[in-house]
Amino acid sequence: MSQYYIKVRSCDTNQEPEWWSRQIVSPTQSNLFWNNGGVGIGVPNPLAKLQVDGNVGIGTAYAAIAPPIDGLIVSGNVGIGTANPTSSLHVQGTVKATAFNGDGSLLTGVSVADITGTLAVAKGGTNITSYAVGDIVYASGTTTLAKLADIATGNALLSGGVNTAPSWGKIGLTTHVTNVLPVANGGTGVTASTGTGNAVLSSVPTLTGPVLTSWALTAIQAGKLEYDGVNVYMSLNGVSRGILPVETTHVLSANRVLLNATGAQSFFPVAYTVASSTTYRFKAQINMARTAGTTGHTIGTSITGTATYTSVAYSISSTVASGGTSVMEWVVSPVNTTITGANTVASENNTFRVEGIARVNAGGTFNFQFTYSVAPGGAPTIQTNSFISFYPIGTNTVTEVGDTWV
């Protein structure tokens, strides 16, 4: 076989070639083997196996295309650290770069653990690397974020105003609250008062629901009110307390003409409604006059209505201005009880003064009435300003009201 050698021209044209290939090649062989040194293209003294001063194009697809100045174009896959590249650039190892261009939408298989550094606000991050429980992130500038540390309970997040950072603090009733809290939400519904003192009523409140439900002091205090669900109590001296009667009164505004009859008749046109399991103290002053009839008769009083009673007791005095005799009776039953002596005169004027206790079992109406034993022959009249009053003093088993008695 004929032997062929490749002769490499020296850089100095006046000298003989410095290198000869040591590989014997044939005319049909397409490989070229350079056994020693480096190959320089446009480089007199190559410092690498291949060093090119200029651009390079690799691959059939780019055979007729000029690469960019000092650039490289490759039509196939490039492998770094791998003998079988499967992508345009296949790197087996770590890639280090100062920047990547593109939106990254096609990146796959990237682990958060492999990403270092802090994501800037401009890239959709916070540029903050650590937080404490309760921290709040807010915009501290047009391109920056900051965190507001949590603080003790009882504080609210307050706006600092436009272009000012928020902060924690107390809500100021005069600076942060507008409008008026209505009664339905626990307020007063008003902004100004017409009176003075510790407890002041507004000029136009609309109160809903009870003001007191049950409120008792642990110790007696002068000037303080107490409420046990039935009565209101107060102490004037801080030593003893007493009941403040919540009294209901009915007063006749005109003469009330009744009947010349023997059936029970009501002193007043209306009955009073009493509550169950409650003790009431009641009193009345009634003037009843009659100007006709001489039939002998007595007068009895009774308590009727729909309520039932554990017990009833009242004193009643009948002062007779004319006709009959003045008497005083202690009545211990709601049924009709005679309280006057016999009377036969045509002109009869009785004033009844009543005071007593009614222990209610089942609630209902309380109706104070009188009954003639015999129709006297003339109709009686209950005089204007006659009245009857009631107020509760406790349960139907009450024995003491106010302080404990010793």
**Cβ neighbourhood burial of 202 (10 Å; 0-12, 13-18, 19+):** middle
Which of 398, 367, 357, 388 has its CA nearest to residue 229? Answer: 398
Tokens of 395: 């349960």
| The pLDDT of residue 324 | 55
Which of 320, 297, 288 has its CA nearest to residue 377? Answer: 297
SS3 185: helix
Domain layout of the chain by residue ranges: 134-187, 209-244, 248-395
| The pLDDT of residue 7 | 52
Beta bridge partners of 145: 139
Q: Which CATH architecture has domain 248-395?
A: Sandwich (2.60)
**Cβ neighbourhood burial of 324 (10 Å; 0-12, 13-18, 19+):** buried
State how far the alpha carbon of 100 is from the alpha carbons of 77, 96, 115, 121, 171, in Å: 20, 10, 13, 18, 50
| The pLDDT of residue 249 | 95
Residue whose pair of structure tokens reads 């205090």 in the numeric block: 221
| The pLDDT of residue 205 | 56
**Cβ neighbourhood burial of 284 (10 Å; 0-12, 13-18, 19+):** buried
The low-confidence residues of the chain, meaning pLDDT below 70, are 1-36, 104, 112-114, 192-217, 321-325, 403-406
CA distance 385 to 372: 22
